[in-house]
Chains A and B, each alone.
Chain A
């Protein structure tokens, strides 16, 4: 399996809801990433996990909470989001946390009402 998968594909939630995004890879990669992407803009890095430990948090608001249960899985827990958080959330993985190529998932399209 040489792909990064993400579920769900689409998510609509209210500002008081709690939801989670899921990302999975079975390429044996040790680094995993969450990005946020607005329409026709580049991805913005949110979090990096290396060997299941949080390595980078790009000053993301606490209403986004990442979790890496094991080396293949990455979750993003969402709570009390704002409409401006509506975006495409991308997961990526790379062989290690360094200069190696990042492989991106298809993204979850999130709409916050």
Chain B
């Protein structure tokens, strides 16, 4: 069965420190992977998708099929990065249904 695991419920770092939010997935085929972010009192929005290979707000994520991981990284965290981050998997055989991880709350302290 398809599954997304985000092992850290809460990640706390200081401003300027590197940050890595972990995401592992379970799927035998070729998945579509996303990172969504939910800032306080704002709507859930797409941050990254693996096929676009973009860097958004300084964040990058690389799909590692061997390790079935899609970790989100940023070299220098900012206070405005504090938010809830969800890794999500979409598979064509389920019609694009998004399977979310449990989420990691990132707290960036000054």
- Residues of chain A whose beta carbon lies under 8 Å from any beta carbon of chain B: 31, 40-43, 45, 48, 50, 55-56, 90, 94, 97-107
B90 at the interface (CB under 8 A from A): yes
Cβ–Cβ contact B102 & A41, under 8 A: yes
- Residues of chain B whose beta carbon lies under 8 Å from any beta carbon of chain A: 32, 34, 42-46, 49, 84, 86, 90, 92, 95-98, 100-103, 105
Chain B residues with CB under 8 A of A99: 32, 90, 92, 96
A7 to chain B, nearest CB (A): 14
Cβ–Cβ contact B84 & A40, under 8 A: yes
Task: Report the separation of the CA atoms of residues A43 and B49 in the bound assembly, to the nearest whole angstrom.
Answer: 18
Cβ–Cβ contact B92 & A98, under 8 A: yes
Query: Could you say which of B34, B43, B49 has the most chain A C-beta atoms within 10 Å of its C-beta?
Result: B43
Cβ–Cβ contact A42 & B97, under 8 A: no
Chain A residues with CB under 8 A of B84: 40
Chain B residues with CB under 8 A of A48: 95, 97
Cβ–Cβ contact B95 & A97, under 8 A: yes
B61 to chain A, nearest CB (A): 15
Chain A residues with CB under 8 A of B46: 101-103
Chain A residues with CB under 8 A of B86: 42
B75 to chain A, nearest CB (A): 25
Task: Report the separation of the CA atoms of residues A45 and B95 in the bound assembly, to the nearest whole angstrom.
Answer: 13
Indicate which residue in A41, A94, A98, A107 contacts B43 across the interface (CB closer than 8 Å): A107
Cβ–Cβ contact B92 & A43, under 8 A: no
Task: Report the separation of the CA atoms of residues A113 and B2 in the bound assembly, to the nearest whole angstrom.
Answer: 36
Task: Report the separation of the CA atoms of residues A10 and B93 in the bound assembly, to the nearest whole angstrom.
Answer: 35
